[in-house]
Amino acid sequence: MRILVIGGGGREHALVWKLARCQGVDKIFASPGNPGMKLLAECVDLPLQDLEAVADFAQNQNIGLTVVGPEAPLVQGIADVFHARGLKIFGPTAAAAEIEGSKAFSKQLMEKYNIPTAFFKICEDMETAKAYIREKGAPIVVKADGLAAGKGVVVAMTEQEALDAVDDMMGTLKFGGAGARIVLEEFMEGEEASLLAFTDGETIIPMVAAQDHKRVFDNDEGPNTGGMGAYAPAPVMTEALKAKCVELILQPTIAAMTAEGRKYQGCLYAGLMINGEDIKVVEFNARFGDPETQVVLPLLSGDLAEIMLACATGRLHELEVKWSEGAAVCVVMSAGGYPGIYEQHLPISGLAEAETVPGTMVFHAGTKEIAGGIVTAGGRVLGVTAVGESIAQAKEKAYEAAGKINFVGAHYRRDIAWRALRDK
């Protein structure tokens, strides 16, 4: 089978890396792809805004399965275009991807179907929003309704911060149309975990739970980023809690989407807040997480292409998906200054040496190939991932590998996985 992967970050490198190990896979294309996957996939520059052109490529190249990494093409309806032509694709339709594309939609869905989540209010105008904030007080969470590249959430610890966030989102439209409508949400205490699941719309198979680190500096300090590292399995998600998640969250959500005429197929990402025995949904994403994918997929013992094809064709119930016993840790190396202003096109050395550490993969997130070698080309540059028998062992290897890589200003946290190791 020939596969097309849409996207070009660390998540897509991990997808390509895993798919390349599958028995039935003859060739992988990636668009735009990245230099790190070049040995595994042919990178092609498709006009991703033009979904018909992407479908033409899939048809002409006899692609058996297209796998979509990022949310934007899903929300735009890439799966609908593919279905209309009878092409197989892993990822939800536009109507189903609204679970990520509109926070108002996902909150209303959870309310209607009794899926545990924080109390909330949807506000269409500034006056209502501000009045509600003054009534409830802080802490309170302000969220832009639409897609805002992961930046549309303000966890306000004071009333003023919340009011300012409303001005930014609804007044100056900092996130464009995404903030024209906002969701105000009760602040939840607890520990976060990401539980991703494969689904064909009926059967749901959870993956190993992961945790990511959003703040740029050690001890979870500094501004939020796209993710500075991740590890799996997350010890906070015990087998009992995971079973509860499937029963109270994942399965009811899939059933709710079908009941709403928005049958959901692909990877469903549940961002969860865990407080003792209590679990609530923070958000849903319509895709794999990044960097979570970089630690989850290395632990999958099954055949990813087979699983994805089963999702796309409604046959997931036929499969048994197995996971390895070990653990994985991903340390993100970012450009100095990220998530603020940073330099690009800095030469990277030590990539090959890093991969000599057994069980290590260096997933590329923001790199570019030029005549002289590989240079940085983004904020998050690399995801240095290692698998081991335990989180502690995987962590040691990931840091050993990261230590062999150099570029000017390279930054990475030294405490990835601290939550998993704190009691040891």
Q: Which residues contact ligand AMP by CB under 6 A?
A: 118, 141, 143, 153, 155, 185-188, 192, 271, 282-283
Of 98, 145, 200, 212, which one interacts with ligand GLY (CB under 6 A)? 212
Q: Which of 12, 292, 303, 306 binds ligand GLY (CB under 6 A)?
A: 292
Which is closer to ligand GLY, CB of 130 or CB of 364? 364
Query: Measured from the CB of residue 188, what is the shortest distance to ligand AMP in angstroms?
Result: 4
> Is the CB of residue 231 less than 8 Å from the CB of residue 395?
yes
What track of x and - describes contact with ligand GLY for positions 131 through 150 (by CB under 6 A)? Answer: -------------------x
Name the percent of the chain in helix, strand, coil, to the closest 5: 35, 30, 40
Q: How far is the CB of 189 from ligand GLY (least distance, A)?
A: 20
> Under a CB-based contact definition with an 8 Å cutoff, are residues 13 and 30 in contact?
no
* Residue 290 CB, nearest approach to ligand GLY (Å): 5
Residue 200 binds ligand GLY (CB under 6 A) = no
Nearest approach in angstroms of CB 250 to ligand GLY is 17
User: Does residue 227 touch ligand GLY according to CB under 6 A?
Assistant: yes
Tell whether residue 35 is a contact of ligand GLY (CB under 6 A). no
Closest-CB residue for ligand GLY? 289
240 to 236, 246, 256, 267: CA distances (angstroms): 11, 10, 23, 22
Is 282 or 332 the residue whose CB approaches ligand AMP more closely? 282
Q: Token pair for residue 284?
A: 């849903």
From the CB of 134, what's the least distance to ligand AMP, in Å? Answer: 18
Backbone angles phi, psi at 276, to 5 degrees: 65, -120
Give the integer Cα–Cα distance in Å for 414 and 238: 26
Nearest residue (CB) to ligand GLY, 38 versus 214: 214
Alpha carbon distance 15, 12 (integer Å): 5
CB of 129 to ligand AMP, least distance (A): 16
Of residues 197, 201, 195, the one with CA closest to residue 315 = 201
Q: Shortest gap between Cβ of 292 and ligand GLY (angstroms)?
A: 5
Out of 211, 285, 294, 376, the residue judged to bind ligand GLY by CB under 6 A: 285
Rounded distance, CA 44 to CA 413, Å? 33
C-alpha to C-alpha distance for 313 and 126, rounded to whole angstroms: 45
Which of the choices ligand GLY, ligand AMP, none does residue 159 contact, using the CB cut-off of 5 to 8 A by kind?
Answer: none
> Using a CB cutoff of 8 Å and minimum separation of 24, what contacts does 216-224 make?
216/334, 216/338, 216/339, 216/411, 216/413, 217/413, 218/413, 218/414, 218/415, 219/415, 223/339, 223/340, 224/150, 224/151, 224/339
Of 8 and 227, the one with the shorter C-beta distance to ligand GLY is 227
H-run or E-run covering 199: strand 191-199
Total chain residues near ligand GLY (CB under 6 A): 7
Q: How far apart are CA 1 and CA 415, in angstroms?
A: 41
Contact between residue 279 and residue 248 where contact means Cβ atoms under 8 Å apart: yes
Binds ligand GLY (CB under 6 A): choice among 69, 289, 359, 388? 289
State the minimum distance, in angstroms, from the CB of residue 25 to ligand GLY: 25
For ligand AMP, the closer CB: 80 or 220 = 220
Residue 206 binds ligand GLY (CB under 6 A): no
On whether the CB atoms of residues 294 and 383 are closer than 8 A, the answer is yes
Q: 139: which DSSP letter?
A: S
Contact between 92 and ligand GLY by CB under 6 A: the answer reads no
Whole-number minimum distance, CB 46 to ligand AMP, in Å?
28
Which residue's CB is nearer to ligand GLY, number 87 or number 420? 420
Question: b or e along 226-243 (b: 16 or more beta carbons within 10 Å of the residue's beta carbon)?
Answer: bbbbbbbbbbbbeeebbe
Q: How far is the CB of 287 from ligand GLY (least distance, A)?
A: 8
346 binds, among ligand AMP, ligand GLY, none (CB under 5 to 8 A by kind): none
**Structural contact between residues 213 and 228, judged by C-beta atoms closer than 8 angstroms:** yes
Q: Residue 188 binds what, of ligand GLY, ligand AMP, none (CB under 5 to 8 Å, by partner type)?
A: ligand AMP
Which residues of this chain interact with ligand GLY, rule CB under 6 A?
Answer: 150, 212, 227, 285, 289-290, 292
